[in-house]
Amino acid sequence: MNKEVIPCLEVCANSYRSALAAQNGGAKRVEFCDNLAEGGTTPSYGQLALAKKNLSIEIWPIIRPRGGDFLYSEMEFEIMKEDIEICKSLNCEGVVIGILKADGTIDKERCAELIELAKPMGVAFHRAFDMSNDMDQALEDLISLQIKRVLTSGGASSAILGAEKIAQLVKRANGQITIMPGAGINENNIKTLIDQTGATQFHATAKAFVSSKMEFRNTETKMGSIEDEYRYELTSENKVKALVDVINNAFNLKENIPGK
């Protein structure tokens, strides 16, 4: 049986600064990533090293070498293994993986190799789960691999829209793995998810836009495809606090100690 039962919030943090905001807001851990617009990719060594040096919150980096699908080449798989070694050298609490085969099933063989390599770190599975061809079978596969938890929107565009399926997954998991709803969760809908799904751990970006302090702005060219390059996203400490408060109240938790 999976022992991870303490209700909590996990924040998808896109930087050291966001991880700090998550810690100050009372989140239990961060899924540390870069490139939120692509669903998250592996963050830099520098970001991870600084976070592990200065923060007490649990750091679980995503191991994803690129955006797009979850079918990886041999070269990409080797990169994933190198990134796991780096995370282990920094004493991260865990890593978050997700690999599928071309037919949409969980790539159990490759996942098992990464899980073994990651020890003694824990291993969670990200929303590649939602892109599998059969979530019920995928769940059984992840349980057999002894994955600690799985992030899911229930296969829908948001956790609220997938709440019915998430509830079914929670029941099917029966405590063998933590089902963690994520996608579009905020302080206004998390109580509904708690009531409807039976889940106890939740995942949110809790992000807000930060305006650039640049005085001169070149409006004739762009560096990428983002519409407004003079603003960027960071985790909001206040949004984290609001989410944590809802969780604590819903489960009658007395303490809210950042990083614990």
Cis peptide before 120 (omega within 30 of 0): yes
The two three-digit tokens of residue 58, written as one number: 């649990």
Q: What is the pTM of this model?
A: 0.91
pLDDT for the residue 37: 84
> What gap in Å lies between CA 242 and CA 164, rounded to an integer?
24
Lowest-pLDDT range of 71-75, 97-101, 218-222, 244-248: 218-222
- pLDDT, residue 4, reads 63
pLDDT tens-digit map of 133-158: 999 999 999 999 999 999 999 999 99
Q: Confidence class of residue 1 from pLDDT cuts 50, 70 and 90?
A: low
What is the overall mean pLDDT for the chain?
Answer: 93
Q: What is the pLDDT of residues 43-55, one digit of tens each?
A: 999 999 999 999 9
pLDDT tens per residue, range 20-46: 999 999 999 999 999 888 889 999 999
Residue 257 pLDDT greater than 50, yes or no = no
* pLDDT confidence tier of residue 6, bands split at 50, 70 and 90: confident
Using one digit for the tens of pLDDT, what is the confidence trace for 156-207? 999 999 999 999 999 999 999 999 999 999 999 999 999 999 999 999 999 9
Q: Please give the C-alpha separations between residue 48 and each of 120, 148, 198, 202, in angstroms, as whole numbers.
A: 18, 21, 33, 22
Tokens for 38, please give them: 């692509």
Q: What is the pLDDT of residue 85?
A: 98
Mean pLDDT computed over 105-133? 98
CA distances from residue 199 to 57, 188, 196 in whole angstroms, order as listed: 21, 16, 8
Tokens representing 5?
């039962």
